[in-house]
Amino acid sequence: MNLVIVESPTKAKTIGKFLPKEFTVESSYGHVRDLPKGRLGVDPENNFTPQYVIPRKNQKRVTALKKLAAKAEIITLATDEDREGEAIAWHLIHALKLDETRDVKRIVFHEITKSAIEEALKKPRQINTALVDAQQARRILDRLVGYKLSPFLWKKVRGGLSAGRVQSVALKLIAEREEEIQKFKPEEYWSIDVDLKTKRDEIFEANLASIDGKSIEKLEIKNEKAAKAIETNLNESEFKVTGVTKRATKKNPLPPFTTSTLQQTASSRLYFSAKKTMMLAQRLYEEGRITYMRTDSLNLANEAVLTAKDWITESLGKEYAADAPRYFKTKSRLAQEAHEAIRPTRPDFAPQNLGGQAKLKDDEVKLYDLIWRRFIASQLPPAGFDTTLLEIEASSAKSKYGFRANGQILRFDGFLKIWPTKFSEKELPDVKKDEELDLVEVKSVEHFTEPPPRYNEASLVKTLEEYGIGRPSTYAPIISVIQDRGYVEKDSNRRFTPTEIGILVNRILKEHFPEVIDVGFTAELEEDFDKIASGKEKWPNVVKEFYIPFNEHLLKKYEEVEKENLIEETDVKCELCGKPMVIKFGRFGRFMACSGYPECKNTKTIKEPPKTIGMKCLGCSEGEVVIRKTRKGRIFYGCSRYPDCNWSSWQHPGKKESGTGN
């Protein structure tokens, strides 16, 4: 018997279809060994030796695999080809007490197809211990930080809190963005556009771009007085065309997906969380539908792009078949293993062919459709546009004003046929240089600058990737953990806001452990893990270099930092026992509780006053604009004088037309 061991039952079932009867394919159900729960499990005094155990829930599975391994002539470990998969294979060898040099083979593949499995079986290799060491270094460092820093928070803040090495950096990004938003002061500015008419009665819009030859910045027209002065001059001006530029432009398709771009696009187009996207992608991979879903590579197999070209030629026509296959260069210096980009295993298997026989759930079909379209689109020709730029001069006795009008017409859809993208078509009239134009209307519009947007899942993943924090396998867990801990929550627009306890934890870490949540330092550690994975660095050295100064600093802070007093006294009496109520900090923020606890367990929620945004009400000009929420949690803006003034707006009041008057 030949025993093949993989991580999941679904993967085992799919691989089993491709192998002869003498092969038995079994699943380990993920990791079979891990650091123990309830204790550190790492020995800093003995070169940070990890003390791995087989969790009780895994004992039955390990025993069953041991019995099968004892009967097997050959044992093949076919776990995923990344650090986590390599570590699972290494742990299997130790948990099952296998002799790696005698009876164990390690195979890897990027997709679960018959040809890929057969090819992998022809090229077995040994365990890549460098990849295992990189995974161990991350796991041990995360354990040291979590198990050492969390008790500090328990002692100095309150019980039940926890800190993580990378998750705390993500919390910092969200909390600092919230600080920016709260401190933001809107600035008034005005834009000026004109509607112009040709001698053939064709009307089009142009935007003010310069005054007396000097380009104007976004905030240059600061108030209504300045805008009205320009408007008066324009009403007395003569308009003529000073330049006409026409050219053909192309828009190239995006590359196929990596893990981060898949999570970002699934978030913006399908409203899937990063966790859900990865769960669905895992299923599609294990069912043999897509290539491996944890990757930062843009590599594509020759066979895949040639198959895509055949499908494009047959299904869309020769005009959509690119002259040569298109390959993409991985730009990220952080790309680690030699994976492919995420693509369908059968490019000719269009989503509409899935049908009922595929047994895929609706959301799986949606994600497959996204992956398939992105890959096929990457092999289509560019979209072609005809673009026009009109430059117009308005001359008055006082000044000369420069206007611009941009037009764009789609001439060939190219990759847009498969990957629809929003773009605006605007056709301008056919005018000549020096042609005179008539002014129809001057439109001066008031605006206010807006604060930076809160992070959503897509923008947070993008930011983490840009900083070099985390890797394809860690983005989704990072986002899940900070939500599960109650440090951040999503608003009605699916954007992250830090909770009160999240803000408090971030403040403590920022004040006392800035190096732990430093973006640059965390990115450097990721590079150290990469060096371990490539065999250029030893994992105990990386752990030691971090841990020794961290632990010395932690011991010092235990002595220096006073316990946070999170209990506030109030004048409110408990209606049950008559004792004073106090304000406490819980997992979900502040709440009011009876000081007679535990004898009296009365609690109340606290109604916080609405936050102002530093603007006067656009309805009455007396009250302040405040942030409010509907019963379902959707944010809107209203007047602090409500109900005397019922002005409100769904949007930040940077545009007058967004409000509803009183």
Q: Are residues 407 and 423 in the same domain?
A: yes
**pLDDT confidence of residue 471:** 85
Position 644 in a domain: yes
Mean pLDDT, to the nearest integer, of 465-490? 91
Q: Are residues 246 and 264 in the same domain?
A: no
Among 531, 523, 392, 388, CA closest to 464: 523
Q: Are residues 440 and 485 in the same domain?
A: no
Range of the domain at 242: 188-252+383-448
The predicted-structure confidence for 169-193, as pLDDT tens digits, reads as follows: 999 999 999 999 989 988 999 999 9
Residue 359 in tokens:
């047994």
Catalytic residue among 189, 292, 475, 637: 292
Q: Are residues 111 and 150 in the same domain?
A: no
Using a pLDDT cut of 90, give the percent of the chain over it. Answer: 75
Residue that terminates a domain, selected from 407, 422, 448: 448
**pLDDT confidence of residue 375:** 97
Q: How confident is the model at residue 621 (pLDDT cuts 50, 70, 90)?
A: confident
Q: How many domains does the chain have?
A: 6
**pLDDT confidence of residue 357:** 47
Position 575 in a domain: yes
Q: Are residues 441 and 469 in the same domain?
A: no
Q: How confident is the model at residue 45 (pLDDT cuts 50, 70, 90)?
A: very high
Residue that terminates a domain, selected from 448, 471, 499: 448
Q: Are residues 95 and 166 in the same domain?
A: no
Mean predicted lDDT score pLDDT of the chain? 91
**pLDDT confidence of residue 633:** 55
The predicted-structure confidence for 487-544, as pLDDT tens digits, reads as follows: 999 887 889 999 888 998 999 999 999 999 999 999 999 999 999 999 999 999 999 9
Position 440 in a domain: yes
Q: Are residues 429 and 389 in the same domain?
A: yes
Is the pLDDT score of 659 beyond 60? no
The predicted-structure confidence for 398-428, as pLDDT tens digits, reads as follows: 899 999 999 999 999 999 999 999 888 999 9
Q: Are residues 418 and 482 in the same domain?
A: no
Mean pLDDT, to the nearest integer, of 115-143? 95
Position 144 in a domain: yes
Contact 79, 16 (CB under 8 A): no
Instruction: Assign residue 404 the CATH number of its domain.
Output: 2.70.20.10
**pLDDT confidence of residue 132:** 97
Q: How confident is the model at residue 660 (pLDDT cuts 50, 70, 90)?
A: very low
**pLDDT confidence of residue 358:** 52
**pLDDT confidence of residue 657:** 39
Q: How confident is the model at residue 632 (pLDDT cuts 50, 70, 90)?
A: low
What's the pTM value of the predicted model, to 2 decimals?
0.84
Q: Are residues 7 and 109 in the same domain?
A: yes
Q: How confident is the model at residue 334 (pLDDT cuts 50, 70, 90)?
A: very low
The CB density around residue 117, as the number of other CB atoms within 10 Å, is 21
Asked if 475 is an active-site residue, the reply is no
Instruction: Assign residue 41 the CATH number of its domain.
Output: 3.40.50.140
Contact 161, 501 (CB under 8 A): yes
Q: Are residues 10 and 100 in the same domain?
A: yes
- Strands 488-490 vs 23-27: parallel, antiparallel or unpaired: unpaired
**pLDDT confidence of residue 331:** 64
Position 90 in a domain: yes
Position 132 in a domain: no
Q: Are residues 370 and 405 in the same domain?
A: no
Q: Are residues 205 and 276 in the same domain?
A: no
Position 22 in a domain: yes
The predicted-structure confidence for 537-585, as pLDDT tens digits, reads as follows: 999 999 999 999 999 999 999 998 888 777 888 889 999 999 999 988 7
**pLDDT confidence of residue 662:** 41
Contact 147, 162 (CB under 8 A): no
Residue that terminates a domain, selected from 431, 448, 465: 448
Distances (CA, A) of 119 to 108, 112, 397, 532: 9, 11, 80, 28
Position 195 in a domain: yes
- Strands 400-412 vs 203-211: parallel, antiparallel or unpaired: antiparallel
Is the pLDDT score of 658 beyond 50? no
The predicted-structure confidence for 76-88, as pLDDT tens digits, reads as follows: 999 998 999 999 9
The predicted-structure confidence for 198-236, as pLDDT tens digits, reads as follows: 999 999 999 999 999 999 999 999 999 999 999 999 999
Burial class of residue 366, CB neighbours in 10 A (0-12, 13-18, 19+): middle
Three-state SS sequence of 422-471: CCCCECCCCCCCCCEEEEEEEEEEEEECCCCCCCEHHHHHHHHHHHCCCC
Q: How confident is the model at residue 359 (pLDDT cuts 50, 70, 90)?
A: low
